[in-house]
Structure 1
């Protein structure tokens, strides 16, 4: 359904369709177009058989993102506002709520009005339409604007055209995909169909790739007709760098006459955080710590802290194994960077929550490199805030599956080689939030708390085998993991600290490198806390 909506609207924004790019966003995975569930307002026509429904205005607020494979419900309430004697139409106001199941967590609020006409337009539905039919008349590319590249009064436009074939495509690939046994197939509201292109103007033009739709208002002065060419125009009215929000004016025109007008608010997400390259590391003199020839496995190393750690250890002479869950291309780019700069790297997919996947990982390492000397458990699920009353046990289990079970499985298959060689290093990644918990992070902090207890037990159980197990505990670092927090708020937090900044990923990697090196042989069951001058103090 998402692909069909993208084909119809030409909104192929990377947050919706490109997992490699979306996983580096604040959402950590692909999200559904906000206007896709909005399009389900078309079901309202089922309430008025043998009549036609035409929407007149919308006021829509997108409260939360919808992820792939999440189940949603839409509730629509409407009431008549006017009906004149001998009139061929009625007017209604409506409110609609889109919610995620099973907790009915509200994600979208819509209100507006529509007219019902007693005479229906003739519409022959093509049941066999399968060819992709975009509403746009021209091909477009995805822009990649940031707050720094956008300017007030910047403009963009899209040309579009609606006919029976495009409406049939909408019904067969989106409406009937949701409800295959739809009772009445009537002409969908052309104003509603035209409104869907707001998704395209936001996701492909202004701002483009880094956009998240926040809200919009749209009022139609006249009806969008079939077989006519229209232009959707937008211009930037206001840019707020503090809130990362832009407000744009929008209109629909035909032959220089305005059919609709409104405004849009969009959140401009920051682009992915760029990690240091291997060249940067070598140029900074960070590449000598007595680790030459060691073999290091870093889980979750296709981005962020894991990525920087893999690069640093490789420049210090380690052979590194880069693991990824979904980011294959990112992992291969990191490995290429390492090899180009004289390092050795092996890339292997691994789902740390799946024991067979972990066994396969160690089998591949054994066949291609040999035993590992260093295990760094860095894989993490996410850092998205959740209201504690909306959390169920499965939410906690999901976090524990990665943080605790994944760590245990990786340790389970590393320890035999460590014991056989009478040496080994295990470094686990926790968070300063365990000691200073922010609101909304119960599942993340619970999992990291469990990890800290597990690491202490590891240290106690393995000390006689010359295996050290320690924890790196960073304060907030500038990585993609924390992009769910608005950048203005992250900047405010940084400025409030004694250091006036966040922890750098390379600083975390340096702490890991120290614990991985012979320099830390006398340390086990301990924490290295990168606290930036804030509690907790040792």
Structure 2
């Protein structure tokens, strides 16, 4: 029950010879003033004096059983012993709340012990922490928890996207394989998933167009079910361009791919996730945000923005049961990095703790964890798959080239 300043609890107890004998047996305090009647008679007290702490110990009884009761942690006490307590005295132990700290869950108690003559024999101040029981974690069950969960993988035909599609299918997800132009690859992934006993659908969309995104989500929901998990693996070849040669268009293309498309897709899947009180969203970052290299200012700027976007949205969506996290690999051995000189790959691998480049499977395994119930307590996190010093040389990417419209976004 609620504890308030002014609350009072009392306890009565008559001190007996048995009490004193047990106290001596427990503590070993056999001071003759307490236990020897003849010795005490020769002192100024004339009678045996009950141990002061015997009476004071009943303060513990009041705190532990009455105020606040179960869960009380008595961590501080001042005491003044004002009058001697005798055998046969009828004690009244009174505790009253004089201060309360809700934030720290601490109360201060004025503690007084009276004898049968209403004289205060002992007084002091106690400090007590109110220990609450740990409550079992209650997580919101998805409204339709019994149906298979559906995962939408953006850029599902890329090296990482394909690995993510196959792993999530293995995890029991129904998979929506998104593609931009490579329909054949998307259909092959769908076929592979179905051959393994899973369910999948391939859906085309230009993720820079709001209408395409809306149509993609509608098709996915009709073919399988509303999207529970979104993984954005969309990627594009990154041209090496000196800053002085960059146009704002180069920045805008990267920002559109990383921020605009992610925002538009999340807005489409969010209503169903909110209705279901459950959802997982995974974005893919880049180690170059932490360890930048030259000539990629446009790309790194967009990925840094995506990192902030992910963390900010995680904070906003958490109360609704939706988690959003980021996976940040270094250089991954995929078709996107196939044209990088072997020397650069070997150098990068040598600078990683495991002495190898990350594989698409490494990324997919991490995404699998973030999409599972095992990661339900994680949101707003950025999981780095390597701490390599990711450096590049002039020759990486599409040096100095402006990608044409057809190849602008390689999903």
TM-score range, shorter chain: 0.5 to 0.7
Shift of 1:358: 0.1
Partner of 2:377: 522
Say yes or no: does 1:304 pair with 2:150. Answer: no
Q: Is the 8 A contact 1:473 1:529 kept in 2?
A: yes
1: CA distance, partners of 2:368 / 2:287 = 19
Unaligned runs of 5+ in 1: 1-289
Q: For the residues of structure 2 that align with 1:377 and 1:291, how far apart are their CA atoms?
A: 25
Name 2:316's counterpart in structure 1: 461
1:531 alignment partner, one of 357, 361, 386: 386
Query: Which secondary structure state, in structure 1, belongs to the residue aligned with residue 333 of structure 2?
Result: coil
Given that 2:178 and 2:205 are in contact with CA atoms closer than 8 Å, whether structure 1 keeps it comes out as yes
Please name the residue that 1:346 is paired with: 201
Q: Paired residue for 2:96? A: none
Name the counterpart of 2:367: 512
Among 115, 140, 149, the alignment partner of 1:294 is 149
Residue in 1 that maps onto 2:253: 398
Q: How many residues of Structure 1 are paired with residues of Structure 2 in the alignment? A: 246
Output one character per residue of 1:170-206: Cα deviation in whole Å (capped at 9) or x when no partner.
xxxxxxxxxxxxxxxxxxxxxxxxxxxxxxxxxxxxx
Shift in Å, 1:291? 12
Structure 2 distance, partners of 1:416, 1:292, is 18
For residues 261-272 of structure 1, the aligned pairs below 5 Å read: none
Residues 292, 534 of structure 1: alpha-carbon distance in 2 compared, 3 angstrom cutoff: farther
Written as runs of structure 1 = structure 2, the 5 A alignment for 1:335-484 is 335-484=190-339
Q: How do residues 38-437 of structure 1 correspond to structure 2 at under 5 angstroms?
A: 293-437=148-292
- Distance 1:383-1:408 versus aligned 2 partners, 3 A rule: same
Query: Is the Cα–Cα contact under 8 Å of residues 331 and 358 in structure 2 kept in the other structure?
Result: yes
Q: CA deviation at 1:292?
A: 8.9
Separation of aligned partners in 2, 1:388 and 1:480: 26
Q: Tell me the SS of whatever aligns to 1:443.
A: helix
Change (3 A) 1:501 1:418: same
Are the counterparts in 2 of residues 497 and 533 from structure 1 also a CA contact under 8 Å?
Answer: yes
1:515 alignment partner, SS class = helix
Deviations 1:323-353 (A, max 9, x none): 1111111111111111112121100001111
- Partner of 2:207: helix, strand, or coil? coil
Residue 366 of structure 1 deviates from its aligned partner by 1.7
Question: Within 2, Cα distance between the matches of 1:427 and 1:337?
Answer: 23
Give the SS at the match of 1:342: coil
Counterpart residue number, 1:195? none
Asked if the contact 1:383/1:484 (under 8 Å) is kept, the reply is: no
In 2, Cα distance between equivalents of 1:398 and 1:384 = 12
Q: 1:475 to 1:291 in 2, by over 3 A?
A: farther
Q: 3-state SS of the aligned residue for 1:485?
A: coil
The answer on whether the counterparts of 1:470 and 1:527 sit within 8 Å (CA) in structure 2 is: yes
Name the SS for the 1:298 alignment partner.
strand
Where does residue 502 of structure 1 map in the other structure?
A: 357
CA shift at 1:416, angstroms? Answer: 0.5
Tell me if structure 2 keeps the 8 A contact 1:296–1:372. yes
Kindly state the Cα deviation for residue 493 of structure 1 after the two structures are TM-superposed. 1.8
Flag the structure with higher helix content: 2
Q: Contact between 2:208 and 2:261, CA under 8 Å: does it hold in 1?
A: yes
RMSD: 1.8
Aligned residues of 1:499 and 1:532 also touching (Cα < 8 A): no
Alpha-carbon contact 2:352-2:388 (below 8 Å) kept:
yes
**Cα drift, residue 533 of structure 1:** 6.4
Q: Deviations over 1:144-195 (max 9, x none)?
A: xxxxxxxxxxxxxxxxxxxxxxxxxxxxxxxxxxxxxxxxxxxxxxxxxxxx
Higher gyration radius (CA): 2
